């Protein structure tokens, strides 16, 4: 018996044709005009497209909750909201903040990650943390508080990563900030992917970081 059968569905591969989708053990096992077998649960897609869950790797909150100010319950509220919009997993983006507030936010995110191990219905999974800064260009700071933007500090990043239990997945930096190109390897060694952002770096400077 199938776990789930989705009826009256459109998919990217089948275009406007309505199909049925069979799911067992969390995996799609059949897509056909009529999927054989009974199912424990039948969902009528009512002619809508069925797509894979979206993964949001850069978001600062939702449903009126700001990641930087969120407690564990706030992270849960964000996750529930994202699930209603088709996002099934996400990274919480912490924008440049004081050391104290950044550590507080990291710890609340970790609490939420620990809580979701026990299962949570209709809530997008928090996969980890994205740090937006603080090694960013003041010229392209956007919403970042300029007085908190600094040159790379790997000891600070190590403290953040230890507080996160290794769950800081990636960090956004500006290549033109003094010391950033030399610090990239250290960031990678701490388990972080490194992305370019808030930057006006020229081609050569950007490639120095990429390479």
Query: Tell me: the pLDDT tens digits for 137-180?
Result: 999 999 999 999 999 999 999 999 999 999 999 999 999 999 99
- The rounded distance, in Å, linking the Cα atoms of 43 and 123 is 18
Rg of the Cα atoms in the chain:
21
The closest alpha carbon to 135, from 85, 66, 186, 59, belongs to: 186
Per-residue pLDDT, 118: 78
Interior/surface letters 54-81, b for 16+ CB within 10 angstroms, e for the rest: eebeeebbbeebebbebbbebbbbbbbb
Taking the C-alpha atoms of residue 80 and residue 124, their distance in angstroms, rounded to an integer, is 6
pTM here is: 0.86
pLDDT of residue 122: 80
List the chain residues with pLDDT less than 70: none
Half-sphere exposure of 178 (CA within 13 A, CB side): 2
Name the DSSP letter for residue 205: H
Query: Measured between alpha carbons, how far is 3 from 5 in angstroms, rounded to an integer?
Result: 7
- Give the whole-angstrom CA distance, residue 80 versus residue 206: 37
CA 185/CA 115 separation, integer angstroms: 32
The SS3 assignment for 53 reads coil
Task: Assess contact for 150 and 174: CB atoms under 8 A.
Answer: no
The whole-number pLDDT of residue 23 equals 95
């Amino acid at each position: 018996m199938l776990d789930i059968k989705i009826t009256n569905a459109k998919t990217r591969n089948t275009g406007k044709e309505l199909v049925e989708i069979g799911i067992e053990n969390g995996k799609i096992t059949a897509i056909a005009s009529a999927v054989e077998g009974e199912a424990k649960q039948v969902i009528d897609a009512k002619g809508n497209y069925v797509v894979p869950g979206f993964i949001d790797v850069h978001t600062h909150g939702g449903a009126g909750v700001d990641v930087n100010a969120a407690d564990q319950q706030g992270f849960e509220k964000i996750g529930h909201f994202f699930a209603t919009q088709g996002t099934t997993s996400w990274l919480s983006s912490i924008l440049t903040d004081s050391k104290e507030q950044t550590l507080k936010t990291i710890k609340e995110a970790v609490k939420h990650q620990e809580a979701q191990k026990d299962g949570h219905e209709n809530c997008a999974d928090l996969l980890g943390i994205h740090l937006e800064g603080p090694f960013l260009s003041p010229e392209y700071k956007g919403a970042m508080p300029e007085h908190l933007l600094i040159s790379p500090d790997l000891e600070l990043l190590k403290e953040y990563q230890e507080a996160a239990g290794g769950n800081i997945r990636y960090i956004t930096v500006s290549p033109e900030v003094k010391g950033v190109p030399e610090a990239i390897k250290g960031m990678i060694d701490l388990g972080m992917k490194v992305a370019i952002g808030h930057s006006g770096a020229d081609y050569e400077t950007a490639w120095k970081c990429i390479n």
